[in-house]
Amino acid sequence: MSQVSDTKFRDSQGNYVTRQPVVILVTDGQPQQFQADNWWEPDGYQRGNVKGRPASALSTVLTGAYWKKQIQKNFQIAPKIYTIGADIGDPEGLYYQAVLNPGTGFKKNDTINGITILDSPTYNDAAGYAYNAWEIYKEGLNVSLPDQGGNMRMFNHPATDDVTEADLNYVDNYYHTTTENLNDIFTEIMGEVQSDAFYATEESTGGKQSAVVYRDPIGEYMEVKDIKGVLWGGTLYDATKNNEDGTYSLTLAAGETTPKNPITGADIDISQMTVKVEQEIKNGKTTETLVVEIPNSCLPLRHDEITVENGQMTDYISSRFETMPLRVLYTVGIQNGVKIDEKEGGALDLSKIDATYKAKNITADGNIRFYSNRYERQLNPTGDDRFDDGAIGDTTVQFTPNSNNRYYFFQKNRQIYSNEECTVPVTADQVTDNSLPEGNYYLKIDYYVDDDKDHGYTGDHTGYTETVVERTADQLTGAVEAIDGNVYTKIGAARIGRLDYFSRNKEQNATETATYSFVPWMENNQMTAFLGNNGRLNMPNPYSFTISKEVAGNNAEQIDLDKEFQFTVKITDEGDMPLTGGYAYIGGSIMDGVTGPENDVLTLNDNGEGTITLKHGQQVTITGLPLGAKYTVTEEDYSGDGYVTTKTGDIGTIGKDATSTAAFTNTKDVTPIEPDPDDSSLTAKKE
């Protein structure tokens, strides 16, 4: 299979379609150890008896992993490899698990050290020696093991496509059976090969054995209050928290009936889903992330069944209008730990909110914003400048599309043209590194339509149809190849060009967060969808006082209006103990035409003192103060500059309902010289 040439065939529309390679290995005896200078190029075989058992085991695992990669290179899609152990009993079973099911069976044996082989190792010990040899080999070192006759066989490294840890589990599925049941196993394998086409995703997302992983970083000072459950196709599963480990168990709610997979008919085992709340404590602050991991068997599937005769659709059945999305029902609220009484509905303790956060999230009317989902405003790994400046959210859904999923990957070599009429083929001499020169290109895609008039179809066509799509060279980068002198889309290449159509800009953005509700992005064949629908909660920030500044007088000029005046603010609690740390303030103005200072933080030292600078017409409101706090505001002495200062409210106490303002006015006047009405003379004297 690594060298066959007929890896593709043409369909009825003339497009190339790649065959799916399938390898089935059946054994009822010991694995054979080949003889070769290079283990990946065998030139002879011998039974791996007794002392040669470890070498036979390692040979089998390495060979399976290596040649799987070669087949994939030839076909451009991963082969399906199934192994069958027929009539294998104990103690050989442990040994054969290692070579035929390395994902679980090829592992460390704590009773076996090194690779010095005993004369007659047991099967179990032989598997342990083979694994120890692998641990040396994977570090890039050569390793030697004895064959049946005790001759040392070198396991060296190929120049390319060496086997790595990620390649080791070359088997898609292992079957342990008897000769009498082989037919049943073959039937099961064929069913599995066919059912793989039904799954849109691979179960390998983010290093997890899950098809889809949903991650919702909860906003600062917010927490998951409750997870009610999961809705699957309208069926409710209750969620129950498992002690304090953050995970939840899912059980069918009372009165509900277990739903079935619409394709296989099997019961949906929702317990295979993982729902958990992860916590991280950093610098004394707790943040949470809701994580939902969904295996293929729990994904809602849309089932389209098309009957085609002689290239024409004769029947079409679809569940696209009945299939409902999977929903996780959960609520988010203010953390109890930042409330005064730590109870639901308790008042917010603003002293527990970081001053920088308050300054960043305070509104013009003094409220503080809290978000159901984290929103950093800087996340944009896509490289697309449309999504800069906080355009996308932090909540994500990640999955790895199945390589056979035509929604994400080209499944056919579709010919590419340089004109929209698709009459001028792009020639092979224009391809460099699977890419084309800058410009626009065109290709035909085919699909089937129904005469359904209730869901947006016009009803004027039923069956197979074609349309022409336009793609830029950037959208086709790495996705083209030369075949027979012309250029085609490359089978297995990601259809990146389609992603541009699916970004969703919000029509309204009441929460003033991400401007896009949905942004898909694919990297290394893994899809990430950024979700930007954030909830926002405005909490009152009631205890505050204001400092204002005004310049007056008939001698006040523009330089006086632009002058900065510095104030020292001292704040203590009701017991006269200094308040320290940061307190957010809101900048504003007391008259039209004046721009207030930026929102910022007043930092109080160990004596409870801090400084603020204001210009004419400006004010600041210092927020987040405890009830009963006492303040004193002192302006620097500017009498030497010709100002006379008047003030009100410069000393005060924060009351529950009172509004406190420390108002300062600096007046700069010129006293006119008024002549004596009885003396009209003017005397000048020079000394």
Instruction: Check which CATH number belongs to the domain holding 592 and give it.
Output: 2.60.40.1140
How far apart are alpha carbons 613 and 587 in whole angstroms? 11
Q: What does the block give as tokens for 649? A: 């409210």
Instruction: Give the Cα-Cα-Cα angle 525, 528, 534 (nearest 5 degrees).
Output: 175
**50-78: average pLDDT:** 84
Residues 486 and 454 in one domain: yes
pLDDT value at position 45?
Answer: 58
pLDDT value at position 141?
Answer: 93
Q: Residue 577 belongs to what domain range?
A: 542-667
pLDDT at 686 exceeding the cut of 80: no
DSSP 182-200: HHHHHHHHHHHHHHGGG-S
**553-573: average pLDDT:** 93
Which among 63-67, 91-95, 201-205 has the top mean pLDDT? 63-67
pLDDT value at position 237?
Answer: 93
pLDDT value at position 376?
Answer: 81
Residues 528 and 514 in one domain: yes
Instruction: Give residue 478's Cα distance to chain centre.
Output: 24
How far apart are alpha carbons 67 and 85 in whole angstroms? 20
pLDDT at 232 exceeding the cut of 70: yes
Q: How confident is the model at residue 665 (pLDDT cuts 50, 70, 90)?
A: very high
Is the pLDDT higher at 686 or at 410? 410
How far apart are alpha carbons 241 and 276 in whole angstroms? 9
Is the pLDDT higher at 31 or at 114? 114
What is the tally of structural domains in the chain?
A: 4
**101-122: average pLDDT:** 83
How far apart are alpha carbons 65 and 517 in whole angstroms? 42
Phi, psi at residue 388, to the nearest 5°?
A: -75, 175
How far apart are alpha carbons 542 and 627 in whole angstroms? 9
Is the pLDDT higher at 358 or at 554? 554
How far apart are alpha carbons 177 and 181 in whole angstroms? 6
**14-41: average pLDDT:** 73
pLDDT value at position 138?
Answer: 92
Lowest mean pLDDT among 364-368, 525-529, 544-548, 565-569: 364-368
Is the pLDDT higher at 238 or at 127? 238
> DSSP E strands: which ranges in 164-301?
173-177, 201-202, 212-217, 222-232, 235-241, 247-252, 274-282, 285-294
For tokens 């801090």, what's the residue? Answer: 610
Instruction: Give residue 531's Cα distance to chain centre.
Output: 9
pLDDT at 611 exceeding the cut of 80: yes
pLDDT value at position 342?
Answer: 58
Q: Provide the H-helix boundaries in 218-341.
A: none
Q: Is residue 381 within 8 Å of 390, Cβ to Cβ? A: no
Closest among 100, 77, 216 to 169, alpha carbons compared:
100
**Sign of the four-CA dihedral 80, 81, 84, 90:** negative
Q: How confident is the model at residue 111 (pLDDT cuts 50, 70, 90)?
A: confident
Q: How confident is the model at residue 346 (pLDDT cuts 50, 70, 90)?
A: low
Q: Is residue 124 within 8 Å of 141, Cβ to Cβ? A: no
Lowest mean pLDDT among 45-54, 262-271, 524-533, 551-560: 45-54
pLDDT value at position 397?
Answer: 93
How far apart are alpha carbons 144 and 137 in whole angstroms? 10
Instruction: Give residue 208's Cα distance to chain centre.
Output: 13
Residues 35 and 145 in one domain: yes
pLDDT value at position 685?
Answer: 40
pLDDT value at position 681?
Answer: 40
Phi, psi at residue 589, to the nearest 5°?
A: -135, 160
Q: Rounded mean pLDDT of the chain?
A: 82
pLDDT at 684 exceeding the cut of 50: no
In a domain, 52, yes or no: yes
**Sign of the four-CA dihedral 60, 61, 64, 70:** negative
For tokens 């389609």, what's the residue? Answer: 498
Residues 326 and 382 in one domain: yes
Residues 62 and 145 in one domain: yes
pLDDT value at position 411?
Answer: 77
Q: Is residue 320 within 8 Å of 304, Cβ to Cβ? A: yes
In a domain, 498, yes or no: no
How far apart are alpha carbons 31 and 10 in whole angstroms? 39
In a domain, 3, yes or no: no
Is the pLDDT higher at 44 or at 527? 527
Residues 44 and 164 in one domain: yes
Is the pLDDT higher at 659 or at 585? 585
Q: Is residue 52 within 8 Å of 148, Cβ to Cβ? A: yes
Q: How confident is the model at residue 207 (pLDDT cuts 50, 70, 90)?
A: low
In a domain, 2, yes or no: no
Residues 255 and 395 in one domain: yes
pLDDT at 679 exceeding the cut of 70: no
> For the chain, what percent of residues have pLDDT higher than 70?
82
How far apart are alpha carbons 206 and 539 in whole angstroms? 37
DSSP 129-148: HHHHHHHHHTTT--EEEE-T
> DSSP E strands: which ranges in 389-515?
395-401, 412-413, 416-417, 440-449, 463-472, 480-483, 486-489, 504-505
Compute the half-sphere exposure of residue 160: CA atoms within 13 Å on the CB side of its CA: 3
pLDDT value at position 463?
Answer: 59
Q: Which residues contact 525 (CB under 8 A, 6 or more apart)?
A: 400, 401, 403, 409, 494
Q: Is residue 131 within 8 Å of 107, Cβ to Cβ? A: yes
Beta bridge partners of 585: 600, 622
pLDDT value at position 112?
Answer: 85
Q: Is residue 373 within 8 Å of 534, Cβ to Cβ? A: yes
pLDDT at 136 exceeding the cut of 80: yes
Residue where one domain finishes, among candidates 198, 230, 265: 198
pLDDT value at position 104?
Answer: 82
Q: What does the block give as tokens for 630? A: 């006492």
**578-598: average pLDDT:** 90
pLDDT at 625 exceeding the cut of 90: no
In a domain, 682, yes or no: no
Using a 10 angstrom Cβ sphere, with 0-12 exposed, 13-18 middle and 19 or more buried, the burial of residue 327 is: middle
Residues 66 and 147 in one domain: yes
In a domain, 676, yes or no: no
How far apart are alpha carbons 649 and 662 in whole angstroms? 4
pLDDT value at position 671?
Answer: 61
pLDDT at 567 exceeding the cut of 90: yes
* Radius of gyration for the alpha carbons in the chain, expressed in angstroms and rounded: 37
Q: Is residue 491 within 8 Å of 411, Cβ to Cβ? A: yes
What does the DSSP 8-state code read for residue 261? Answer: -
Residues 395 and 444 in one domain: no
pLDDT value at position 462?
Answer: 58
In a domain, 500, yes or no: no
In a domain, 396, yes or no: yes
**255-286 residue pLDDT tens:** 999 988 776 677 888 888 999 999 999 888 89
Distances (CA, A) of 309 to 71, 319, 446, 464, 548: 33, 22, 16, 11, 83
Residues 427 and 554 in one domain: no
Q: Is residue 446 within 8 Å of 434, Cβ to Cβ? A: no
pLDDT at 513 exceeding the cut of 50: yes
pLDDT value at position 23?
Answer: 92
Q: Provide the H-helix boundaries in 76-210.
A: 92-100, 102-105, 123-137, 182-195
Instruction: Give the Cα-Cα-Cα angle 264, 268, 269 (nearest 5 degrees).
Output: 130
Residues 252 and 362 in one domain: yes
Residues 320 and 183 in one domain: no
How far apart are alpha carbons 510 and 683 in whole angstroms? 74
Using a 10 angstrom Cβ sphere, with 0-12 exposed, 13-18 middle and 19 or more buried, the burial of residue 262 is: middle
pLDDT value at position 455?
Answer: 44
Using a 10 angstrom Cβ sphere, with 0-12 exposed, 13-18 middle and 19 or more buried, the burial of residue 20 is: middle
User: Residue 581 CB: number of other CB atoms within 10 A?
Assistant: 15
For tokens 């510095």, what's the residue? Answer: 566
Q: Is residue 549 within 8 Å of 620, Cβ to Cβ? A: no
**470-504 residue pLDDT tens:** 898 888 888 899 988 999 998 888 877 667 667 88
